[in-house]
Chain A
């Protein structure tokens, strides 16, 4: 499958635990974006990364959330000490370049439920 791969598809965590969401971009894509979608809401930008660099994290909460895209391996979105309000669908998208004309291709998402 050459598409954007996200895992796990579903993740259940208790309040206070850590959640790790993984994303492997499409082959040939070096730009990764993370979005969050609450029920009945639109997609909210969180963070934009290239290999080993965070380009824009303006949409990411300052506390408990972090993201990385190492030289080798998938991009990771990490949420520490999860709270019920973190329950949402988290989508990763990738593009081949950062130009304005590169559409984003989305993975199937990770649905996080905090109990």
Chain B
């Protein structure tokens, strides 16, 4: 059973701070890792993806991957109230396999 685990939160951070969201996965053969953001009542939207160990930066977002520890994280710098949402970690094995999602971490950025 492939599993993706996330702390459900809520994670509360003050405006301007760094929000750190974490995710672990059970399938050691996983190759691709994605972060989605989902506002309440809306559909998930892709924020970032990462395939290789290390860091990947895109604007205020940094994804970090450690395959040895089966751990992926998302850092949000200079957090804004508009970042308040549920962040979904998703993992894919390879080829024709579906994305497996965690239950998400609810982030609340306090103005």
A binding-site residues for B, Cβ under 8 Å: 33, 35, 41-45, 48, 55-56, 59, 91, 93, 98-101, 103-109
Contacts and interface: CB of A to CB of B under 8 A. Distances in A.
B98 A45 contact: yes
Nearest to A108: B43
A57 to B, nearest CB: 10
Nearest to A35: B101
Contact of B101 (A43, A103, A108): A43
Contacts of A98: 95-96
A98 B45 CA distance: 19
Interface of B (DSSP majority class):
loop
A103 B44 CA distance: 12
Contacts of B102: 42
B98 A42 contact: no
Contact of A43 (B88, B92, B95): B88
B104 A33 contact: no
A114 B99 CA distance: 27
Contacts of B104: 42
Top 6 closest pairs, chain A to chain B, by CB: A42-B103, A98-B96, A43-B101, A100-B94, A45-B98, A106-B43
